[in-house]
């Protein structure tokens, strides 16, 4: 059940299924398990049988997983920070969505370097300004991460540079480039 068709994070529960009747059975099983342990869900906080839902900062749909638009707006509207603490807050927030941003570590390298230190005020370099703007731009063009198809070949891409190391697991699904 857990991580096969239900995800639990503190008091948030997501139940997902491929087919309607299967979903009815999954919901019933989860509700029975909650009742068994004397746990209850408030009906007014529940949403049933949706094909698209906001969950833990993501939008999940049959197409895949996307960033929540309100979080994208928060990054786009984030002002150029003046203290290291504010920059660290921004990087922490952005880091939550790093899997949507290709070359995240390389893009943020000038910001990460600048964020190391105490509470002194920041002195923005041209490369840090460029990185800040590029990261915000990448948030507006981030892809939908499609659900994997176990019948298709997986592609592993790896890369390393002086500022980061990374790997991407993707698949070719149809004519577009790997996702």
User: 0.75 cut: is pTM over it?
Assistant: yes
Does residue 172 fall inside a structural domain?
A: no
Does residue 18 fall inside a structural domain?
A: yes
Does residue 27 fall inside a structural domain?
A: yes
31 and 96 housed in the same domain: no
Give the total number of structural domains in the chain: 2
80 and 130 housed in the same domain: yes
Q: What pLDDT is attached to residue 126?
A: 96
Rounded to an integer, what distance in angstroms lies between the CA atom of residue 33 and that of residue 106? 45
92 and 120 housed in the same domain: yes
pLDDT, tens digit only, all 179 positions of the chain: 877 899 999 999 999 998 999 999 999 999 999 999 999 999 999 999 899 999 999 999 999 999 999 999 999 999 999 999 999 999 999 999 999 998 899 999 999 999 986 657 788 999 999 999 999 999 999 999 998 989 999 999 998 888 678 888 989 877 655 55
84 and 127 housed in the same domain: yes
34 and 78 housed in the same domain: no
Q: What pLDDT is attached to residue 116?
A: 86
85 and 19 housed in the same domain: no
Residue in the block written with tokens 């590029």:
134
71 and 133 housed in the same domain: yes
Does residue 173 fall inside a structural domain?
A: no
E runs forming strands in the chain: 6-9, 12-15, 53-55, 58-61, 64-67, 154-161, 164-171
Domain that residue 17 falls in: 6-49
Report helix, strand or coil for 15: strand
Q: What pLDDT is attached to residue 159?
A: 86
Does residue 130 fall inside a structural domain?
A: yes
Does residue 26 fall inside a structural domain?
A: yes
Tokens for 45?
Answer: 């906080």
Does residue 79 fall inside a structural domain?
A: yes
Does residue 164 fall inside a structural domain?
A: no
Q: What pLDDT is attached to residue 128?
A: 96
74 and 42 housed in the same domain: no
90 and 33 housed in the same domain: no
């Amino acid at each position: 059940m857990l991580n096969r068709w239900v995800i639990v994070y503190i008091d948030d529960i997501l139940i997902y299924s491929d087919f309607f009747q299967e979903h009815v059975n999954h919901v019933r099983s989860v509700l029975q398990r909650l009742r068994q342990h004397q746990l209850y869900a408030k009906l007014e906080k529940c949403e049933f049988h949706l094909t698209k839902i906001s969950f833990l900062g993501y939008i999940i749909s049959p197409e895949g997983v996307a960033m929540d638009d309100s979080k994208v707006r928060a990054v786009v509207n984030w002002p150029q920070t003046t203290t290291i603490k504010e920059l660290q807050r921004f990087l922490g927030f952005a880091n939550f969505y790093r899997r949507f941003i290709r070359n995240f570590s390389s893009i943020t390298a000038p910001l990460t370097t600048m964020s190391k230190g105490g509470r002194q005020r920041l002195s923005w370099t041209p490369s840090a300004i460029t990185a800040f703007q590029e990261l915000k731009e990448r948030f507006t063009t981030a892809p939908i991460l499609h659900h994997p198809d176990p019948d298709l070949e997986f592609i592993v891409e790896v890369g390393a540079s002086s500022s980061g190391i990374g790997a991407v697991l993707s698949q070719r699904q149809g004519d577009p480039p790997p996702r």
